[in-house]
């Protein structure tokens, strides 16, 4: 809450086995629909004595772009096989790695969200040669920016609401007259309405009950599509939101707002190809007692990443924001929650999230 606080957080898993020299398919995060990777480019040219490298296989899974082919092995070297993309060290959100070619570099990964992933290095034993061709463009994290809100949801109205739908936790918090949230039994989506004179939050995502750092959950990704109407009072924030415990930290990744993004800072970081302003403040109120460790009293820390250019659809690598804050020396405790969130300081309005999903690569 920009002024006050909120609830508290469970998880999927994805792993891929990469056998070196073999082009195994990638995989998508648990709980997500596997998308099709982009197609591979042609293999690089052959050298006088080496064999031509085979094209890198297109990566499977929601994050894979096509893998570029490696160049041919040089002189007497033999070329390596294509290396597929996978949701892991190469980036759960980046394009596929390039095909390996001799000891040369792999091709660049397929673009995702407009940002190209780096190619995996070639693995042969020959001398260095030309880089493999770039992979073809993948989808924007499989986020369909034209998605429409599903039907058949259940609406809850009140001032303090918490529950679970389709594997995700949802809730409302307000210190005013309340509002409503609609969630769906078979879709990671929600909508909310408010007619409020005070702070109102509605959110859907993952709650975590273990005392683990964010690093224990691997790559944490949030995907959203939003359509807003009406007004939002004195301030608003649309994006990703949550808490940590010990220390008590309320954090925001501000992607959009009704009238001007909330939160600034002189420190910046480039995440998911965009510039974010980073800031840390302290606040007081009732939120910390509600959302942090039992018996919490006094103030708590608020951390913001505010996107320089607002957007209404996209993929947010939440764990990269956590890492950027940690680099500033800002302490984060045990991860408590990661939610797609709307917060408004009053007004009368509504918002739809046809896509509102949070995933992790480890549990």
CB neighbour list of residue 16: distance below 8 Å, 6 or more residues apart: 24, 26, 27, 61, 86, 87, 88
Contact 1, 173 (CB under 8 A): yes
Residue 157: in which H helix or E strand, if any?
A: strand 154-158
Contact 24, 58 (CB under 8 A): no
Candidates 258, 291, 293, 349; CA nearest to 171 is: 291
Q: What is the DSSP string of 80-93?
A: PPP----SSTT-TT
171, two tokens = 């809730």
H helix count then E strand count, the chain? 2, 16
190, two tokens = 């929600």
| 323 φ, ψ (degrees, to nearest 5) | -65, -40
Overall residue count recorded for the chain in this entry:
363
Known active-site residue 343: yes
Known active-site residue 223: no
Contact 270, 317 (CB under 8 A): no
Q: Which of 223, 226, 255, 343 is catalytic?
A: 343
Could you give the 3-state DSSP secondary structure of residue 313? strand
- In the chain, what's the furthest Cα-to-Cα distance? 77
CB neighbour list of residue 306: distance below 8 Å, 6 or more residues apart: 252, 254, 261, 262, 263, 264, 265, 276, 277, 279
Bond before 202 cis per omega within 30 degrees: no
Contact 358, 216 (CB under 8 A): no
Contact 103, 128 (CB under 8 A): yes
Q: Which of 223, 226, 250, 255 is catalytic?
A: 250
Residues with catalytic roles: 250, 343
């Amino acid at each position: 809450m920009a002024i006050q606080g909120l609830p508290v957080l469970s998880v999927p898993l994805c792993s891929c086995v990469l056998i070196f020299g073999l082009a195994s398919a990638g995989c998508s995060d648990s709980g997500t629909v596997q998308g099709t990777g982009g197609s591979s480019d042609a293999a690089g040219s052959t050298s006088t004595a080496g064999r031509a490298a085979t094209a890198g296989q297109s990566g499977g899974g929601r994050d894979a772009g096509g893998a570029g082919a490696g160049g041919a092995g040089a002189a007497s070297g033999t070329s390596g096989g294509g290396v597929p993309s996978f949701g892991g060290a190469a980036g759960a959100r980046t394009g596929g790695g390039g095909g390996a070619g001799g000891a040369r570099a792999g091709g660049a990964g397929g673009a995702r969200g407009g940002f190209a992933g780096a190619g995996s290095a070639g693995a042969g034993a020959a001398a260095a040669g030309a880089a493999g061709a770039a992979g073809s463009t993948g989808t924007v994290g499989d986020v369909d920016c034209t998605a429409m809100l599903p039907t058949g949801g259940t609406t809850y109205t009140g001032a303090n609401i918490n529950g679970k739908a389709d594997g995700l936790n949802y809730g409302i918090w307000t210190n005013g007259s309340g509002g409503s949230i609609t969630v769906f039994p078979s879709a990671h989506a929600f909508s909310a309405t408010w007619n409020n004179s005070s702070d109102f939050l509605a959110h859907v995502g993952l709650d975590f009950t273990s005392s683990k750092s964010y690093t224990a959950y691997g790559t944490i990704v949030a995907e959203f599509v939003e359509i807003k109407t009406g007004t939002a009072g004195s301030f608003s924030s649309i994006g990703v939101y949550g808490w940590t415990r010990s220390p008590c930290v309320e954090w925001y990744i501000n992607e959009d707002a009704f009238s001007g993004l909330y939160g600034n800072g002189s420190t910046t970081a480039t995440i998911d190809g965009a510039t974010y302003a980073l800031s840390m403040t302290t606040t007081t109120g009732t939120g910390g007692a509600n959302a942090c460790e039992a018996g919490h009293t006094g103030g708590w820390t608020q951390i913001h990443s505010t996107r320089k250019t607002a957007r209404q659809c996209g993929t947010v690598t939440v764990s990269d924001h956590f890492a950027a804050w940690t680099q500033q020396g800002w302490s984060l405790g045990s991860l408590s929650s990661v939610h797609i969130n709307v917060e408004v300081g009053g007004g009368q309005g509504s918002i739809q999230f046809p896509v509102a999903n949070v995933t992790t690569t480890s549990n």
